[in-house]
Chains A and B, each alone.
Chain A
Amino acid sequence: MPSFSHFFQTFISSKGLFLDATLLTLKLTIVSILIGIIFGLFFALLKISRIKILEYISNAYVFLVRGTPLIVQIFILYFGFSGIFLIPDFWAAALALAFHNGAYIAEIFRGTIQSVDKGQMEAGRSLGMTRGTAMRRIILPQAFRRALPPLGNQFIIGLKDSSLAAFISMNELFNVATTLGSNHFDEMTYLLIVAIYYLVLVALLTMIVSMLEKKLAISDR
């Protein structure tokens, strides 16, 4: 184990690089979650469409994502995409993570949509709304609110998962840590440092999520 003063000095001297990497990690996570939300909503709606073929497509997507390791998905999408289109590494990584997050977000949305009382749809329909209008105006706004806390948790998971983008040479937190570690023949120090960065980020996000939960609990019902 490194001595504390050595650890502290290294922490200070490396902070420029790590802060840049933090920004990239956050950017990667935010973009992949936002795109993942679009994927998730799309596949959740397919799943509850009551149209068999669309349900199967949605199930297949969730099955594929849950049934294979994220690192395999990242490599397939990275090499697959860069073989066909020239997309920047950032977008290859963001899309791969979004594809992955989307499946979990689809399950979150499916759950919260189905948790909205079925009387809400009936009330909307009895007022002359189509199923689509009632879904958009009545059900989804309620489902979104309920989805916020689990989406926050998915964000935290997504943040940690984004470390795998290091393997397609994204200079996010984990990659910076391993690179600096091997350059200085001091892996353990840098790994401990990066662990602290992740812990602080996750702690901050956890606070935000629980604040959200409290706020929603107050305004709910």
Chain B
Amino acid sequence: MNSREMIKIENLNKSFGSLHVLKDIDLSVYESEVVCLVGSSGSGKSTLLRCLNFLEKKDGGSIFIRGEEISPDTHNINDVRQTVGMVFQHFNLFPHKTVLENIIEAPIIVKKIPKSEAVDEARELLQKVGLEDKADVYPSKLSGGQKQRVAIARSLAMKPDIMLFDEPTSALDPELVGEVLTTMKELADEGMTMVVVTHEMGFAREVADSIVFMNDGKILEKNCPEEFFDNPKEERTKEFLKTTALK
């Protein structure tokens, strides 16, 4: 891939107290690339994603977004976050707002877009995720899969260049996983740059351009799906794939 570098991480380190969680992470994500982040529990996947959105403060190293080094000291992190969307495992929809209000909140409040424009865009997004009939419903009335699709629409409403997903289907009943993955796949097909932490190996194999395997705070292996699944280099990767195949 010779397109633009959207994210570049250099020598990133992060500790929680004495627990060294991210160790000398180097990673590049290119425009329209879909990177799946896999690895066993506690390997630091969420922490890496959260550092990219500055929900966690890095201890050392550099993060470049579209070529520009970003640091909370020199940049307004709130502006940076508008270009990097995030979807959470537990959706985190605003329960006191309807589906439509969830989506238009940030465009109106943060981007100062006129309400009528925000509503039009929100309805288009809802159509895109197949929930146009749920605009005036409160999140409590939605299934998990519907909630997650609303959360994706809410993120997209800010027109981000990059979308981060932290286990977007892990909290869902098995029969609801498919609809969310379909939405994500459509997003990938449209050319969105995506970093996805997931345990859905089928999705990773089908949609990812590259797969990053994390183990104990380090990136052990980065490869295209075919190589990663069929011809893993590292012993730890083979073990990991064996445990996921058993599931």
A residues sitting closer than 8 Å to B (CB atoms) are: 117, 119-120, 122-130, 133, 137-138, 141-142, 145, 219-221
Contact = CB atoms under 8 A, between A and B. Distances in A.
23 contacts: A117-B90, A119-B90, A120-B94, A122-B86, A122-B88, A122-B92, A123-B86, A123-B93, A123-B151, A126-B55, A126-B84, A127-B85, A127-B154, A128-B81, A128-B82, A128-B106, A128-B158, A129-B109, A129-B110, A130-B78, A133-B110, A137-B109, A221-B95
B155 interface: yes
Given A122-B88, A123-B88, A141 B96 contact: yes
A116 to B, nearest CB: 9
B61 to A, nearest CB: 21
B79 interface: yes
A123 to B, nearest CB: 4
Interface in B77-114: 78-79, 81-82, 84-86, 88, 90, 92-96, 105-106, 109-111
Contact of A142 (B85, B96, B155): B96
Q: Which of B53, B78, B90 has the most CB of A within 10 A?
A: B78
Contacts of A130: 78
Contacts, number: 64
Contacts of B90: 117, 119
Given A123-B86, A125-B55, 19 more contacts: A117-B90, A117-B92, A119-B92, A125-B81, A126-B53, A127-B82, A127-B105, A127-B106, A127-B154, A127-B158, A128-B81, A128-B106, A129-B78, A129-B109, A129-B110, A130-B78, A133-B109, A142-B96, A221-B140
A127 B96 contact: no
Interface string B166-204: 000000000000000000000000000000000000000
A128 B90 CA distance: 19
Chain B interface residue count: which class? Answer: 20 to 34
Contacts of B110: 127-129, 133
Contacts of A145: 96
Contact of A128 (B55, B79, B92): B79
B167 to A, nearest CB: 13
Contacts of A126: 53, 55, 81, 84-86, 155
A187 to B, nearest CB: 51
Interface string B45-86: 000000001010000000000000000000000110110111
Contacts of A120: 92, 94
B81 A137 contact: no
Interface in B19-53: 53
A188 B241 CA distance: 83
A219 B138 CA distance: 9
A220 B86 CA distance: 25
